[in-house]
Amino acid sequence: MEAENKKLDQFTKEVMQDAGLQAPSTDFLANVMAAVTHEKVPVKAYKPLISKVGWLIIGALFLIFAFVLTRFSLGFSIFGDWNLSSLVIEKYEPTFEIPEIPATYAYCFFFLLVFVVIQVKIFSKQLDKNLN
C-alpha cells in the first residue's frame, strides 16, 4: 500500500509537471499596468494599532505589576479611603437594598469602563481616518 501511494505520488508529480503552466495573452502585463496606473487608491504600509515595541512594553509592565503584587504587600491601598461602591450608593440613594459590592470588583469594573470609553474614541478616530 505504501509503495503504491509513493508510486502514485511520483506519477501525479510527473503528470502535473508535464501539464505545466499556461500563459495569458501577450498584452496581459500592459493591460494590468494600465488599469493599476489609473487606480487612485494610495498604497501605504500596513501599520498595526499597537506596534511590536508597544506590546513588549505592555507585557513587561504586566509582568512587573504581577510580580510586585504577588511578592510584596504595600500594607495600604493606593486608592486610600476612596470607596467606589459606597459613592455610588450614596449618590443615587437607592430605594432598594443593594448588596455590598467587593472593592476589587468595583475598581475592575470602573477601569474596564474607562478603557472601553477610551478605546471607542481611539477606534472611531482610526475609522474616520481610514474612511477619509
Partner 1 sequence: MTQNTDQDYIDQIRSGNVNAYSMLVAKYKNMVFTLALRIVENREDAEEVSQDTFIKAYRKLDSFKGTSKFSTWLYRIVYNTSLDYVKKNKRVVLSEHIDEINESDIGSMQNALTYIEDKERKETIEKALLKLPEEERILLTLFYFEELPLKEISEIVKISYDNVKIKLHRSRKKLFHILKNVVEPIYLNHGSRK
Residues found near partner 1 in the complex (CB under 8 A): 3-5, 7-9, 11-25, 28-29, 31-33, 35-37, 39, 41-46
Nearer to partner 1 (CB atom), residue 13 or residue 121:
13
Cβ 127 to partner 1 shortest distance, Å: 15
E runs forming strands in the chain = none
Cβ 14 to partner 1 shortest distance, Å: 7
Distance CA 110, CA 102 (A): 12
Angle between helix axes 84-92 and 103-131 (nearest 10 degrees) is: 80
Cβ 87 to partner 1 shortest distance, Å: 45
3-state secondary structure of 71: helix
